Chains A and B, each alone.
Chain A
Amino acid sequence: MTLPRPTLRDHDALLHEDLVTPMHTHRDADSRLRVETPDGPRYVHAHEVDRLVAPQRPRTEVPDCEHVDGGPRRLSRRHVIQGASAGFGALLAAGAQPRYAFAAPQPAGSPAATATQRDLLVVVFLRGGMDGISAVAPINDPAYQAARGKTAVTAETSIPLDDTFALNKNLAAFQPLWDAKQLAIVHGAGSTTLKRSHFEDMNTVEQAAPAAMRSGWLGRHLQSSASTQGTFRAITIGNRAVLSLSTTAFETLATSTLDTFKVNGWNGDKSTDIMVSMVEKMFADAGGRAAAQCRQTMQAVAGLADVRAVPGDKYVPANGAVYPDTTFGYGLRDVARLAKAGKGLEVACVDLGDWDMHKGLGSPAVTTDWFSRKSIDLSTSIAAFAQDLGPMWARTTVVTMSEFGRRVQTNADLGVDHGHGNVMFVAGGGINGGQVYGSVPSLTPGNLVLGDVPVTTDYRQVLAEILTRRLLNADLATVLPGFTPGPALGIA
C-alpha cells in the first residue's frame, strides 16, 4: 500500500535542499515537514517530500513547509543517566558532550615542540547549523534587514564591531575578549563542498579530507605532532570519539562527563573496590593485550581521580568566573578542570547543539528566544572558560565550527533553512583578535548562491593558521590533505 498522492500546484515549493538532499538527518524521528496540499496539510518525512515536489525549482520566498519539533519522545531515567545517550544519535542530538584528547608528555630534552609549548585547542562544534548572520550581522545592509524582518539584528540589538558588522547583543559576553583583541571572527567561512545534510556535512568538515580518508583532522594532528604514546594518548568523552578526533593510530577515549569516568558501583560501599581489585588481578594474570588494556584503563581512571575528587558541582572556578548552568557550560568547566590539572591536555572537543532553527529563530531583543538563548549559552560559557583559565588562556585557542550556515531569507515560520557560508569564532590569548576576517557581499539576491551567503573563506584556511601558528604543526599535507592554504588571513 502506498501513500495517497496529493497533487501539488506548480510552484507549491518546498525548500531547495529538500529537493537536493533530504534534510533533518540529525533526528529524523523528531523532524517532520508540513506540506500544504489541496487536501489540507500533511506531515511527511523529507524522503517523501522528494516524491511530492513539483518539478520546478522552487521559489524560496514561498516556503510552505515547517519544521515540527518534539515528536513524541520520552526518556526513561535509565536512558539519561551517565553515558546512556543513544549511540550515534547523541552526536547529532541537541546538547553538549565534551570530548578530550590528551597528549603524552614529551620525553625530557625532546627537541620538537612540546605539549606545553603548543596551545590547548578547544573545538566547539555548533551542531545543527548556526545562523552566522544572526550572530555577526551586516546590520547596515538593507538586503539583510529586508530578508530577516522581525528577526533581524539592528543597531539597538547589537554591539558594533566595524563599519559593516555588529555582534548580536546576546553574544555580549564576547565583548571583553573582542576588546582585548583575543577574539577573531571569520565571516563567509565554510566548506566548499556542501550537501546541506547535517549528517554528511558534519562528516565532511570533521574529516576535513577527501571522503576516502576515514580519520578526522584532529586525529591526524595529534598523530603527526608527537611521536610518543603515553598511558593514554587521547581520551574522548561521549560514548564514541567525535569524528574529528578519530584516527586508527591511537585510541581516543570517551566518557560523558569527567565525574563519571570510573567503574560504577555502590557508593560508599567497599564492595565495588573489592570487586574491581579482583578484576584487576584476573586481568593482570591474563597477560597480553587484555592485561595491558585493563592496566591502561585503570591508570586512566586513577589518573583523573584527583580531578574527580572535587566533583564538578564543588569545583570553584578561578578569577570569579561563573559558568552558566548548562551542559555546554559544564563541558567547558570539565575542560578547564583537566587543563589546570596538568594532564597534558592538548585537544578537547565540546559540542553545543540545537542550532537547527527552521522555525522561530526569534528576536534578538528577546533573550529567551531560541537564537538568543543559544547565543548567551555559547558566549557566557566561553567567556567564563577564558576567565577561569587565567594565565593558561595565553596558550589556549577556542574555535567554533558548524556544518553550514542558514538561508538568508527567513521562511514562513520566521525560521531559517539550511544555507552555506557561516561565521567562525576564534578566541585565545594568542589570537590576533578584534577584527572580522573574510568577506561577505551585500546580501542582495544577485550576490547569493542559491539564496545563501557565499563561502569566501575555506574553513580549512582558519584551521591551517591555528595548526601552524598555535599548535606548531606545519604538516598540513597530513592534517588537511588536499587543501592548499591561501594567503594567510593573519588570525593567529
Chain B
Amino acid sequence: MLSSLFSPMLSRRVLLGLPGVDPTPAPAASTGAAAAPAATPTAAPATSAVTSPATPAATSTPTPATTPPATTTPAPTPTARRATPTPSPSTSAHEAPTIPTRLTAGQVLAARCPTAPGLAPTTSAEWHVARRLAQMPNTALVAEIKAMGIGPWFEAQLLPETVPDPVWAAIEAKSFPWMSMTVSQQVAATGQEPWRCSPVLAQMLAVRPLYTKRVLQESMVELWSDQIYVARGGDLEMWVADFNHRVLRKHALGRFTDLLHAALTNPALLMYLNNDLNRKSGPNENLGRELLELYTVGVGNYTETDVVNSSIILTGHSIDWTTYDYSNAWWSHKTGPVRVMEFSHPNPPSKYDSQTSTAETNAALLKAYSDYLARHRKTAERIARRIAVRFVSDTPSAALVTHLADVYQQNDTAIVPVLRALFNHAEFAASAGLKWKRPLEHQGMLVAATRPKTFHPPYDFRVNPWWPGQLHDMIANAGQPLRMWPAVNGFPDVAAAWLSTASLLNGLNGTESEMEFWDESFDKVVWADALGVKAGMNVWAAADLIATTLTGFTWPRTHLAHIASYLAAHGDRPATDTDVVSADARRWYVPHVVRLVAMSPYAWMR
C-alpha cells in the first residue's frame, strides 16, 4: 500500500519528463466539433416529427390561438392540447418551429401535489411552465412567456444563444469573469490562486437564475451537475468552474455523447474520482465504476469484471500539470482486449512498442467506449428518467420514461428532442404543482419576486472571494450547499429527500433573511410597491394579489383568510369582506405577509 502512495508522483514525474508529447490531440478534436445538429433550428422539426409518436401532427401549421375563457378551463385533457400560440415577432429571428404545446395561453390548470395532497390551488399555464423550466421564476418571466407564447418561448429557450441576456451578461462581466475562463487563465487572473474560483462558482450558481433569460439552459446545467457530479470541495476547488463552463454549460442542450466525453476528458472529473492515479501499473477503479453506476447504465447492468475492464479502458487519461488541462497519457494506458457488457475492443499495443498504447488508440478507445455507454438503452432510460423527474414529477410514468428514452436513442443522444417530447407530453401539461422545491428554488423565490436588475455583493471577488453570499448561505442551511453534496451521486431531486426537520426549519428561517433583505447584493424594495398593494385596497384582493404574485398559485379562500386576517388586524380576528389595507398595514404587515406566503406549503410546490 505504501508503495502505491508514491505512484502518482512517479506518474507526474514521467509526465513532466516528456515535454515533447502533445497532450490532447484526439479529445480536443472531438470536443471541438461538439455542436449538436439537433440543436440547430433546421434539424429540430424533422427529428421532432419523426420521433414524437405522441404528437403525430407535430409540425402543424400555426393557427390563430383560440384562447378559452381563462377562468373556466379545467385541468388539461387530451382534447385540449392542440391550440397553438401565435408566434411572436421576436421568435422569427431564428425561425424556431412552432410546436403544438398542449398548454394554451392563459389556460387555468388545477395544481396538486402528492407531498401536500390537501392543497388544491389553481395556476396558469404560463406559471406552470415558468416554475418547471426556470429555477427562480417571477412575474416578469411569466409576462415574457405570455408575450411570446408558450411554444415559441420554449423553442427559443432551446437555442439559448439566441435569447438576449444583457442583464446577466453585464453582471457576469463585472462579477464573474473567472467563471468562463480555462484553468490556466484563472491561474493568471487570480494571482496564481485558482482555487478562489470555487466559492465564486457557488455564488454564481445561487444568483444567476435571478437574472438570466436563458432559464432552461441554467436548469439543464443544474440537472447535469447532479448526473455527473463533481464536488467543489477539497482537491477540486481549482477545477470546478472550468468543469461547469466547458462541460456542463457547453453541452447542456447538446448531445449526451459529447457531454459524457467532455466530462471524461476534463481534469475535474479525473481528479475527483482519482483517474489521475489510474495507470497500467495499478488501476484505480473509482471512475471506472461510477461511470457505469452513476453516469450511464446504472447498477445491476454490469458485473465486477466489467468494472475492472471499465477501469482498464480509462487508464492513461490524466491531467497535464503544465496546461492544467486533460492529458492523453497513452504511455500509462493498459493494453489488451477489454470487454464491458456488449462492448469489446482489442485495445492493441503500439506496433512499435508492445508495452504501450498510442495516443490515437488511447483516444479512440475512450471515445468508442464513452459513446457506447452514452447510447446504451439503460443510459437512455436513466437520462430520460432524470429529465422526467426534474420537469414532471417524482414518479413519472413508465410510458413517459420509455417514450423519452426512445426519442433520446432515435436522435443519437441529442437532448433537445427529448425536452421537446417531454414538453409536448400530456404528463407535462397535467403536472402542475406535482414537484416539491429544492432549497435553491425555494430560497430564491422572494429575491426573484423583487425582479432584481443589479447585483452588488458586499465584497469584491478580487479581494475576498471566500463567501458565496447570504442567499447561498440560506440555500446551504436548508440542505443544498451548491456543488457540495458529500457523496458522488449528486443532490437528490425527489421530495422525500428534502423533507427533513433541518431542511424545513432552515427553509422557514431563510425566508426571514430574504424578506428583510439581509443580502446586500440585491436592491431593497418596498414590498407593497413591488407587489402593487395599495392603501385602501380590499384585504382579500390584496391577499390574492400577494399570494399569486409570489407563488403563481391562486389560493383557496380558506388560506387567503390567513393573509387577509393579518393585513386587516394582525391576525387578531378574521377579515371581513369590507376590510381594507390601511397605510400602516401596507407599511408594516405586508412584509410579514410576504414571509408568511414564503413559509406556506404553496411556496414549496413547483
Contacts and interface: CB of A to CB of B under 8 A. Distances in A.
Given A25-B233, A88-B233, A199-B235, A50 B321 contact: yes
A43 B193 CA distance: 9
Contacts of B321: 47-48, 50-51
A19 to B, nearest CB: 4
B300 interface: no
B187 A278 contact: no
A172 interface: no
Given A51-B322, A263-B508, A288-B115, A86 B502 contact: no
A295 to B, nearest CB: 10
A412 interface: no
Interface string A278-302: 1101110111111101101100110
A10 to B, nearest CB: 13
Interface in A101-122: none
Given A271-B570, A278-B562, A19 B116 contact: no
A288 B434 CA distance: 13
Contacts of B519: 78
Nearest to A83: B477
A265 B596 CA distance: 11
A251 B508 contact: no
Contact of A290 (B116, B459, B470, B479): B116
Given A83-B506, A199-B234, A240-B479, A72 B463 contact: yes
B33 interface: no
A275 B596 contact: yes
A84 B501 CA distance: 17
Given A28-B237, A51-B12, A73-B466, A2 B502 contact: no
B505 A261 contact: yes
B80 interface: no
B54 interface: no
A1 B187 contact: yes
B33 to A, nearest CB: 26
A5 B16 CA distance: 12
Contact of A47 (B119, B188, B238, B472): B238
Contacts of B466: 29, 71, 73, 86
Interface string B464-486: 11111010110011010110101
B322 A2 contact: yes
Interface in A240-291: 240-241, 243, 246, 251, 253-255, 261-265, 271, 274-275, 278-279, 281-283, 285-291
A86 B184 contact: no
B467 A86 contact: yes
Contacts of A232: 501
Contacts of B6: 19-20, 57
Given A239-B502, A255-B505, A265 B2 contact: no
Interface in A30-57: 32, 43-45, 47-48, 50-51, 53, 55, 57
B152 interface: no
A79 B570 contact: no
B601 to A, nearest CB: 4
Contact of B118 (A73, A274, A286): A286
Contact of B184 (A1, A50, A85): A1
Contacts of A71: 466
B194 interface: yes
Contacts of B115: 286, 288-290
A447 to B, nearest CB: 15
Given A29-B199, A275-B595, A275-B599, A84 B473 contact: yes
Contacts of A199: 233-235
A477 interface: no
A299 to B, nearest CB: 9
A414 B512 CA distance: 47
B549 interface: no
B343 interface: no
Interface string A210-242: 010010000000000000000010011001110
A317 B467 CA distance: 36
Contacts of B237: 28-29
B421 to A, nearest CB: 30
A472 to B, nearest CB: 27
A3 interface: yes
Interface in B587-606: 592, 595-596, 599-602, 604
Given A193-B1, A285-B558, A235 B501 contact: yes
B46 interface: no
Given A51-B16, A83-B506, A75 B467 contact: yes
Contact of A278 (B192, B196, B496, B566): B566
B351 interface: no
B356 interface: no
Contacts of B16: 51, 55
B583 interface: no
Contact of A88 (B465, B484, B571): B484
B197 to A, nearest CB: 10
Contacts of B78: none
Contacts of A289: 115-116, 495-496, 499
Interface string B7-39: 011001100110000000000000000000000
A79 B501 CA distance: 22
B509 interface: yes
Interface of B: 1-2, 5-6, 8-9, 12-13, 16-17, 113-119, 184-185, 187-188, 192-196, 198-199, 202, 231, 233-235, 237-238, 286, 321-324, 436, 458-459, 463-468, 470, 472-473, 476-477, 479, 481-482, 484, 486-487, 489, 495-496, 499-502, 504-506, 508-509, 512-513, 518-519, 558-559, 562, 566, 570-571, 592, 595-596, 599-602, 604
Ranked nearest first, the 6 interchain pairs of A and B with the lowest CB-CB distance are: A87-B481, A286-B116, A51-B321, A287-B118, A199-B234, A87-B476
Given A20-B9, A251-B500, A282-B602, 4 more contacts: A87-B476, A197-B234, A282-B559, A286-B119
7 contacts: A47-B195, A79-B473, A240-B479, A255-B502, A279-B599, A286-B116, A297-B504
Interface of A: 1-3, 5, 19-22, 25, 28-29, 32, 43-45, 47-48, 50-51, 53, 55, 57, 71-76, 78-79, 83-89, 92, 193, 195, 197-200, 203, 211, 214, 232, 235-236, 239-241, 243, 246, 251, 253-255, 261-265, 271, 274-275, 278-279, 281-283, 285-291, 293-294, 296-297, 300-301, 449-450
